């Protein structure tokens, strides 16, 4: 059986690949395995085999698609502008639709149902905190290992959703609180709100918003991702600007244009927090702090670099905060976090995490920023003690506090 859903890859997009191979050297999975089927060109060939030659969507096809990190480095390298992220999401939707029902149901519960429910996220966080407190969390090999990348595992989740801050008459900046970010990375939201208020915005975190849908979309649950997008489009309708402080979520919000009524309007209003700070500093709404010689390493999240093409904004934010911005491994490989990839492909994820940590270690820089929560976790895990890994907005907000 070939494609069975309405989400199948656009044949014109597949046809636009001229098989030049320029994407191969930038593809992390190809660089590590040397296997053509683990390259963008090989994956596109497999999709074309289904689309044009009746090849089946079987386990082999699903495995070829699954090993892709969806980092989109190949999109940046591609002279034919193949929209790789889009066709990969569509192929995964097909693979998921044709996967055995029990396996698909379990994945859907984890990646869609649980992420959409604040109650389930709270419960899971409380359970993990309890296990951590009594020293049993480490016995759960995957989850225990992941939580090493967290600064702390909160007992009680204080969601930012439903909050509003700042002057009543300012332009309205609506904050995407997200799913896991709202539970485990609330410090980043706190810093984001503080900076937005200082820039003159009235900040609102709509209570009716939901998870952006990136994890669902990347994992092949296209209908669920569309339903989440619809809910968010309604929740953020009255925003002047929609702000994301997790690069993966921001990249997905910026791609909402494909989801119908009102979607393009919303997508056009989305900004990563670093872009907002750069604009406010240039307009004099936020200060620049006196320059120092303190070096801060910049790690570029794939979804800020290739998904949003906004990664250099972080350099400007760090310089405005008074530090010397040192991009590390710019144009290099994905750190291997990639959402749930780190759970589903642990060996590949670990190889990439270690490679990224080695590049950082070689610079001798001990403070590193990353604008994506998942990358932060991955860097903390593989850099270990002696390093400080933060979000750029946290460094900028701290400078505001210390220079008051």
Distance of CA 135 to the CA centre of its chain: 30
Per CB under 6 A, 74 contacts ligand SF4 = yes
8 Å CB contact between 66 and 32 = no
Min dist. Cβ of residue 285 to ligand SF4 (A): 36
Q: How far is the CB of 84 from ligand SF4 (least distance, A)?
A: 5
In this complex, which beta carbon is closest to ligand SF4, that of residue 93 or of residue 205?
93
The whole-angstrom separation of Cα 368 and Cα 403 is 21
| Eight-class DSSP state of 219 | T
Q: How far apart are CA 181 and CA 210, in angstroms?
A: 12
CB closer to ligand SF4 out of 46 and 176? 46
Count of other CB atoms within 10 angstroms of residue 143: 16
Complex with ligand SF4: residue 116 or 254, whichever CB lies closer:
254
Q: How many CB atoms lie within 10 A of CB 26?
A: 23
Nearer residue to ligand SF4 within complex by CB, 32 or 114: 32
Please tell me whether residue 78 binds ligand SF4 under the rule CB under 6 A: yes
333 belongs to the binding site for ligand SF4 (CB under 6 A): no
Question: Cβ of residue 125: shortest distance to ligand SF4, in angstroms?
Answer: 30
Q: Closest Cα to residue 327, out of 339, 312, 349?
A: 312
Question: Which range in 71-79, 196-204, 258-266, 358-366 contacts ligand SF4 by CB under 6 A?
Answer: 71-79
Q: Is 341 in the site for ligand SF4 (CB under 6 A)?
A: no
With binding defined as CB under 6 A, does residue 252 bind ligand SF4?
A: no
Residues 153-182, mask of contacts with ligand SF4 (x by CB under 6 A) = ------------------------------
Angle at 90 between CA 330 and CA 345, to 5 degrees: 55
Nearer to ligand SF4, 73 or 199 (CB): 73
The residue (of 84 and 184) whose beta carbon lies closer to ligand SF4 is 84
CB of 13 to ligand SF4, least distance (A): 10
Q: Residues touching ligand SF4: how many (CB under 6 A)?
A: 27
Given a contact cutoff of 8 angstroms between Cβ atoms, the answer to whether 336 and 149 are in contact is no
CB 338 to ligand SF4: min, Å:
8
Q: How far is it, in rounded angstroms, from Cα 388 to Cα 300?
A: 16
Residue among 47, 50, 65, 82 that touches ligand SF4 (CB under 6 A): 82
71 binds ligand SF4 per the rule CB under 6 A: yes
Q: Helix, strand or coil for residue 149?
A: helix
Structure tokens at 160: 């930012």
Which of 51, 69, 355, 360 lies at the binding interface for ligand SF4 (CB under 6 A)?
69
- According to the binding rule CB under 6 A, does residue 321 interact with ligand SF4? no
Q: Identify residues 15-44 at the interface with ligand SF4 (CB under 6 A).
A: 17-23, 26-29, 40-41, 43-44
Q: In what order do the strands lie in the sheet with 367-370?
A: 324-328, 295-299, 367-370, 388-390
Shortest distance, position 59 Cβ to ligand SF4, whole Å: 19
Query: Are 343 and 140 spatial neighbours (Cβ–Cβ below 8 Å)?
Result: no
How far is residue 254's CA from residue 304's CA, in Å, rounded to a whole number? 11
Q: What string marks each residue from 84 to 123 as x (binds ligand SF4 by CB under 6 A) or -? A: x---------------------------------------
Angle at which helices 392-402 and 186-198 cross, to 10°:
50
CB of 136 to ligand SF4, least distance (A): 35
Asked if residue 260 lies in contact with residue 221, where contact means CB atoms within 8 angstroms, the answer is: no
- The minimum distance between CB 43 and ligand SF4, in angstroms, equals 6
Pick the closer one to ligand SF4 by CB: 27 or 280: 27
Ordered strands of the 172-175 beta sheet? 164-165, 202-204, 172-175, 241-244, 270-272
What CA–CA distance (Å, rounded) separates 35 from 40?
11
3-state secondary structure of 388: strand
CB 76 within 8 A of CB 22: no
Q: Which chain residues interact with ligand SF4 by CB under 6 A?
A: 17-23, 26-29, 40-41, 43-44, 68-74, 77-78, 80, 82, 84
């Amino acid at each position: 059986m070939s494609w069975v859903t309405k989400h199948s890859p656009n044949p014109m997009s597949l046809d636009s690949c001229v098989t030049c191979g320029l994407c191969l050297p930038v593809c992390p999975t190809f660089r590590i395995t040397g296997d053509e089927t683990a390259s963008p060109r090989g994956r596109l060939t497999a999709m074309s085999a289904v689309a044009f030659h009746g090849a089946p969507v079987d386990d082999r096809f699903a495995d070829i698609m699954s090993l892709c990190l969806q980092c989109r480095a190949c999109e940046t390298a591609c002279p034919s502008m193949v929209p790789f992220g889009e066709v990969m999401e569509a192929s995964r939707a097909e693979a998921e639709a044709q996967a055995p029902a029990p396996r698909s149901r379990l994945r859907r519960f984890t990646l869609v149902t649980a992420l959409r429910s604040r109650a389930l996220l709270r419960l899971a966080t409380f359970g993990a905190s309890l296990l951590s407190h009594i020293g049993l969390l480490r016995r759960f090999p995957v989850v225990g290992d992941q939580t090493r990348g967290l600064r702390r595992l909160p007992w009680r989740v204080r969601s930012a959703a439903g909050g509003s801050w700042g002057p009543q008459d300012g332009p309205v900046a609506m904050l995407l609180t997200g799913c896991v970010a709202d539970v485990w990375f609330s410090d980043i939201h706190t810093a984001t709100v503080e900076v937005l208020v200082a820039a003159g915005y009235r900040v609102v975190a709509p209570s009716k918003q939901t998870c952006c849908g990136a994890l669902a979309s990347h994992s092949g649950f296209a209908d669920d991702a569309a339903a989440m997008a619809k809910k968010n489009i309604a929740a953020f309708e009255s925003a002047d600007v929609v702000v994301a402080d997790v690069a993966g979520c921001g990249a997905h919000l910026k791609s909402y244009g494909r989801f119908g009524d009102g979607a393009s309007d919303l997508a056009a209003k989305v900004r990563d927090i670093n872009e907002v700070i750069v604009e406010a500093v240039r307009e004099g709404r936020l200060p620049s702090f006196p320059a120092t010689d303190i070096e801060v390493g910049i790690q570029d999240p794939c979804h800020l670099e290739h998904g949003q093409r906004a990664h250099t904004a972080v350099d400007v934010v760090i310089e405005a905060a008074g530090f010397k911005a040192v991009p590390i491994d710019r144009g290099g490989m994905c750190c291997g976090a990639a959402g749930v990839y780190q759970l589903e492909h642990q060996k590949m994820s670990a190889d990439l995490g270690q490679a990224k940590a080695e590049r950082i270690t070689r610079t001798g820089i001990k403070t590193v920023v990353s604008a994506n929560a998942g990358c932060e976790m991955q860097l903390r895990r593989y850099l270990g003690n002696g390093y400080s890994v933060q979000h750029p907005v946290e460094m900028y907000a701290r400078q505001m506090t210390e220079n008051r």
